Chains A and B, each alone.
Chain A
Amino acid sequence: MSPWIEKQRSLIDFTLASLARRKTRNLGLLAVYALLVFVLASVMLFTHALRREATAILEGSPEVILQRMVAGRHDLIPPGYPEKIGRIRGVQAKEGRLWGYYYDPVVKANYTFMVPRHEIAPGTLHIGPGLARERGLAPGNTVSFRSYSGRLFAFTVGAVLPQRSELASADLVLLAERDFRDFFEYPAGHFTDIALSVANPQEVRTVAAKLAAALPDSRPILREEVLRTYASIFDWREGLVLAILSGAIIAFAILAWDKAAGLSAEEKREIGILKAIGWETGDVIRMKFWEGALVSVASFLIGYLAAYIHVFRFDAALFEPVLKGWAVLYPRFSLTPAIDGLAVATLFFFTVVPYTAAVLVPIWRAATTDPDAVMRA
């Protein structure tokens, strides 16, 4: 073995023995450090995977959704409006969509009522798995909802949408057009919005610009805009991390600063003795470098491993209460793992380097002073 490696190993042996002398304190530090990495890595893995999942799921959403605005609010599409669009080159098809919200006072949850493209028998509902679970419904059961006008409507559950698709369908209620119009007393010929399909992706923006010009009261929402919204919606720097972790990060920064700002009397004495028995300043600094590196690399690996298992093997169970917000209907889903290598590298850099550096600063100060003064201090 080369003398350099043997020397480093001896330094590591020494620093480990030194760490073992203050076992409780150092194990506590390792635990807190690993916990911080665990939370940061969990947020990072979860949000990245969720963004990927959302954009993958919504890739087939309509190319353009056309809303009508009245006084800055989304309003119904009146009869004759689709005809105003006329024939815009590139638009393959346009269809009026019917959907809306219903608040169910029984379970205090919001549902999304929607008329699908495929036929559903009148009087029948196809319901989302979250709703079925919350209301204890199965195909063949009867469920009644009181409409906003006060009338009671009874429906038969025709089918429950597959549980596997719950992330997109937890709260959906699919029903026939006639039932939808009766239930919400939706004016005849009116629609919620219009979905347009455009064959050539290059033409979507041109089509949208033409729509905006032809119908000044309309608001076209492009699929690329939808996907971009979901690509940025859980930006971990802006949302979750700021809201939940700022306290933890500041607490750890104080801990690291405390370690950086001063050494314990015992550590100072140890350095004094080492220098008195002939250790060079460089050796003392190398020894402490190994201490910082071992603690921070170990914390990173433990924290990251725990975060991966938490997010992808236990479906981010610890985040559920936070993400649930006030929603009664929360989808049960397993994310498809997507690991952003650059984000992992960034996390590694920002957890390992600052701590290793923070350990070195006071040691450098102590190691460059006279051993006698250090021991007497």
Chain B
Amino acid sequence: MTGPRPSSIAFALLAVAASGFLLTFADAAFLRGARLPVRAETAGLAARLGLTDIALFTEARYTRHPTQADLHSAFQDHPLAFEHFPTGSLHSPIRHEPLDRKAAQPD
């Protein structure tokens, strides 16, 4: 008696892995439903306190509140720059969008 063909085993294994791949989307939908109240609670707290940043990197002013940091301070302008704190290498430079302040034309 011969066993199953190698291709049958390979396809079975790939089918299991592909089902796992599809299951990640179902699991993501399930987790989203379960974790939504947590997100809503955090968002509620942020709105109540008027928070502008998340507390992911707490080591320096410009990493704790990147949106509120000075426009052009040393060590915060581009990733991979010489940096006192390693965090600056992990996130991209903040794209400040200066509002239009047109200077008046001299007469």
Contact = CB atoms under 8 A, between A and B. Distances in A.
Interface string A323-354: 10111111100111111000000000000000
A220 B101 CA distance: 12
A168 B58 contact: no
B6 A226 contact: no
A171 B43 contact: no
B80 A242 contact: yes
Interface string A75-112: 00000000000000000000001000100000001111
Interface in A264-308: 294, 297-298, 301-302, 304-305, 308
Nearest to A223: B52
Interface in B73-88: 79-80, 85-87
Nearest to B72: A72
A334 B35 contact: yes
A70 B18 CA distance: 58
A325 B59 contact: yes
Given A60-B43, A164-B38, A226 B55 contact: no
A59 interface: yes
Q: How large is the interface on A (under 10, 10 to 19, 20 to 34, 35 or more residues)?
A: 35 or more
Contacts of A57: 39, 42-43, 46, 51, 54
A325 B55 CA distance: 13
Nearest to A205: B99
A193 B53 CA distance: 15
B20 A337 contact: no
Nearest to B11: A12
A13 B5 contact: yes
A146 to B, nearest CB: 19
Given A56-B43, A112-B64, A221-B68, A327 B79 contact: no
B90 A323 contact: yes
B51 A58 contact: yes
A229 B42 CA distance: 19
Contacts of A233: 66, 91-92, 94
B92 A238 contact: yes
Interface stretch (A114-122, A177-185, A252-260, A360-368): A114-122
Contacts of B20: 301, 305
B50 A225 contact: no
Given A167-B55, A233-B94, A242-B80, A301 B14 contact: yes
A193 B85 CA distance: 26
Contacts of B53: 58, 226
Contacts of A334: 35, 38
A30 to B, nearest CB: 12
B89 A239 contact: yes
Interface in A210-257: 212-213, 216, 219-221, 225-226, 228-230, 232-235, 238-240, 242-243
13 contacts: A57-B54, A61-B47, A72-B70, A117-B48, A164-B41, A171-B64, A225-B97, A234-B90, A305-B17, A328-B59, A336-B39, A337-B27, A337-B35
Interface of B: 5-7, 10, 13-14, 17-18, 20-21, 24-25, 27-28, 31-32, 35-36, 38-39, 41-61, 63-68, 70-72, 79-80, 85-87, 89-92, 94-97, 99-101
